[in-house]
Amino acid sequence: RNLISQETFKFHFKNLGYAEGRKDTFLCYEVTRKDCDSPVSLHHGVFKNKDNIHAEICFLYWFHDKVLKVLSPREEFKITWYMSWSPCFECAEQIVRFLATHHNLSLDIFSSRLYNVRDPETQQNLCRLVQEGAQVAAMDLYEFKKCWKKFVDNGGRRFRPWKRLLTNFRYQDSKLQEIL
């Protein structure tokens, strides 16, 4: 199980309005059966940009090559992503295509920060994600705590919210709602 360090999480997932020096995207994921009363994680872990390939695309390649082959096409599965940045327009476009061809999958995307949301193409493709059935939301305190507990080498420490986390969440959420 690959975990990220506390320092990496605090630096890359801090939901700042302007996040200087944060060029990498971290994607923490969980795959569960959709219709289970108490969903058990079938797969979970962390992806990061690698060799100029965005974390979302790294996940899609991995999922297609390693996971889809062992999942039953007759069962429904839920994929949840906790991301340091929302998808760029190109990644969102590829995710839309992926979801369009895999009707037994649902995708929830929680992002700490919105990437390039003034760009009309980015806005359009975020809307397309929702139209294709993805749930897209800003990370709130609950998601940060869940991410900390499951994906961070936290040494048994509880998540300590940074200053302005809730204010920054409200800003990210309102911007996202304007777009959607």
Choosing from 7, 20, 30, 56, which is the catalytic residue? 56
Q: Position 7: which residue type?
A: E
With 0-12 / 13-18 / 19 or more C-beta atoms within 10 angstroms meaning exposed / middle / buried, residue 110 is: buried
DSSP state of 88: P
* Alpha helices by DSSP H, the chain: 6-12, 55-62, 89-101, 120-131, 141-151, 165-179
90 catalytically annotated: no
* Residues known to be catalytic: 56
